[in-house]
Structure 1
């Protein structure tokens, strides 16, 4: 199969039929063999009913329905596990991403040899204050932290070689950082394509200001994990040792001072409490942080989601 298109969605029943017709048109015009996997992320409208109706008309369309809303990362992760195409393309369901971009994205993967191609919505129709400015700040921080020169990490329209999506795990809110996860997994041929950004035709955006706060928090997480996930002791051990060393040297100084000046009270000096605090923090960094990170990274149920129904997927 040439292409798997993954469409995560939440309360998008108004746009799904039009989007499915558009995708079908593009696939037929280019003679692609394809599947479209729509992941209903706990919608409360009629999205799942629409997906079922579409699948009855066109068996290339498949569906996954979550029991509740887990978020975009969970939807993409389930879609990645189910996809069987040689090239996997993700797009949003609100029709702000254009299916007409698919043939060129496919070519960039299969002909030009990219492992991952990320869309760049160079001209946007979002609110400049609430979306564009925070997005620019977020992308600048992501570029600097990851070393990947992409303009739009959060663009939903992306194309992947099959091996890439089968080699990474998307959890939490890490869908923004799939290029970073791919680079961390050893896929360094990452490209970018300017794509059309269309004004929203149906409904309202499902994302608010909190996604940018979460985005920066996730950036810190992914930056840490990508650098120290396999060797956490290099982080916790280094700073824990430095902190403990500061406290230990301060303690030795106070002891020597006490031997030279017996009348000096150790506990009367602020340095005594600084040294004690530094040694305690150093031990906590060395032990508690290291153990806690190992537990988090090896949690057995980190990527377990309750799926209510599947349509056309084993």
Structure 2
């Protein structure tokens, strides 16, 4: 199979039929062998009814419904897990991503050998203050931290080689950083393509301003995991040893100074009246705690088990 098109969605009943017809038209005009996977992330409208109807009429359409809203990352995770195509395309269900871009994205991966092509919505139809400006700041921080020279990390329209989606772990809210996850997994042929952005036709965005705060927190998380995720002792242990050593040297200096003054009959204050006593004590305690944190992190890595991330309540189509 050439293409798997993975579409996570939440309450998009008005756009689904139009989106499906548009994708199917593009697939037929380019003679692709394909499948469309709609991942319903706990919609409360009639989205799932529409997906079931489409799947009943078209054997190339499959649907997965979560029993509640788990988030876009979990929807992409199960979509990647079920996808069978040689190239996987992801896109949003709100008609802001243009299916006409799919053939060129497919060619970049299948014929030109890229591991991942990320869409770049160079010209956007979103509000400047609420989306465009925060998005530029967010992407600048992501470029600086990850080393990937992409302009639009969060664009939903992306193309992947099959091996990439089968070997990356999209969890939490890491859908924003799939290119970074791919890079950390060893896939280096990552680039971007300018894609057409369209104004939202139906409904309203499902993401509020808090997504930028969460995005920056996730960026810090992914930076930490890429550097120390498999060796937490290298960070916490090193910091712990340095802080303990600093505290120990400070305490030794206080003790030696006290003994020197006593030996020579010089006036001196109580050890507990010296502020450096508390600085050194706190430093040794924090150093010990950091070292223990690194040790516990190593133990957790060695004993962790896969945990349930979502529950599928229903599927439709031929899996």
Measured against the shorter chain, the TM-score band is over 0.9
What is residue 135 of structure 1 aligned with on the other side?
135
Q: For residues 170-181 of structure 1, what are the structure 2 equivalents within 5 Å?
A: 170-181=170-181
* Alignment partners' CA distance in 2, 1:301 and 1:17: 36
Q: Which runs of 4+ in 1 moved over 4 A?
A: 296-299
Q: Structure 1 residues 298, 119: closer, same or farther in 2, change over 3 A?
A: farther
What is residue 307 of structure 1 aligned with on the other side?
312
Q: Structure 1 residues 142, 33: closer, same or farther in 2, change over 3 A?
A: same
1:280 aligns with one of 282, 285, 302? 285
* Alignment partners' CA distance in 2, 1:302 and 1:286: 27
Following superposition, the deviation at residue 312 of structure 1 comes to 2.4
Q: Structure 1 residues 200, 13: closer, same or farther in 2, change over 3 A?
A: same
**Paired residues, number:** 314
Following superposition, the deviation at residue 58 of structure 1 comes to 1.1
Contact 2:4/2:89, CA 8 A, preserved across alignment = yes
What is residue 124 of structure 2 aligned with on the other side?
124
* Alignment partners' CA distance in 1, 2:308 and 2:170: 8
Secondary structure of 2:76 counterpart: helix
* Alignment partners' CA distance in 2, 1:149 and 1:190: 9
* Alignment partners' CA distance in 2, 1:313 and 1:37: 11
What is residue 89 of structure 1 aligned with on the other side?
89
Secondary structure of 1:113 counterpart: coil
Q: Structure 1 residues 29, 115: closer, same or farther in 2, change over 3 A?
A: same
Contact 2:231/2:298, CA 8 A, preserved across alignment = no
Q: Deviations over 1:133-152 (max 9, x none)?
A: 11111101110000000000
Moved more, 84-93 or 224-233: 224-233
TM-score by length of 1: 0.97
Contact 1:4/1:35, CA 8 A, preserved across alignment = yes
What is residue 274 of structure 2 aligned with on the other side?
269
What is residue 69 of structure 1 aligned with on the other side?
69
* Alignment partners' CA distance in 1, 2:295 and 2:224: 13
Contact 1:171/1:302, CA 8 A, preserved across alignment = no
Q: Deviations over 1:65-90 (max 9, x none)?
A: 00000000000000000000000000
* Alignment partners' CA distance in 1, 2:293 and 2:255: 28
* Alignment partners' CA distance in 1, 2:178 and 2:52: 29
Q: Deviations over 1:158-203 (max 9, x none)?
A: 0000000000110000000111110111001001000000000000
Following superposition, the deviation at residue 30 of structure 1 comes to 0.5
Q: Deviations over 1:254-282 (max 9, x none)?
A: 11111112343111111111111111111
Contact 2:17/2:50, CA 8 A, preserved across alignment = yes
Q: Structure 1 residues 59, 28: closer, same or farther in 2, change over 3 A?
A: same
Q: Which structure has the larger Rg over C-alpha atoms? A: 2
Following superposition, the deviation at residue 239 of structure 1 comes to 1.3
Q: For residues 9-48 of structure 1, what are the structure 2 equivalents within 5 Å?
A: 9-48=9-48
* Alignment partners' CA distance in 1, 2:308 and 2:33: 30
* Alignment partners' CA distance in 1, 2:303 and 2:35: 33
Moved more, 33-42 or 297-306: 297-306
Secondary structure of 1:261 counterpart: helix
Moved more, 294-303 or 69-78: 294-303
* Alignment partners' CA distance in 1, 2:294 and 2:71: 28
TM-score by length of 2: 0.95
Contact 1:87/1:106, CA 8 A, preserved across alignment = yes
Q: Deviations over 1:97-147 (max 9, x none)?
A: 000000000000011110000000000001110111111111011100000
Q: For structure 2, which runs of at least 5 residues remain unmatched after alignment?
A: 263-267
Secondary structure of 1:200 counterpart: coil
Q: For structure 1, which runs of at least 5 residues remain unmatched after alignment?
A: none
Q: Deviations over 1:35-83 (max 9, x none)?
A: 0000000000000000001111211110000000000000000000000
Contact 1:236/1:285, CA 8 A, preserved across alignment = yes
* Alignment partners' CA distance in 1, 2:237 and 2:294: 9
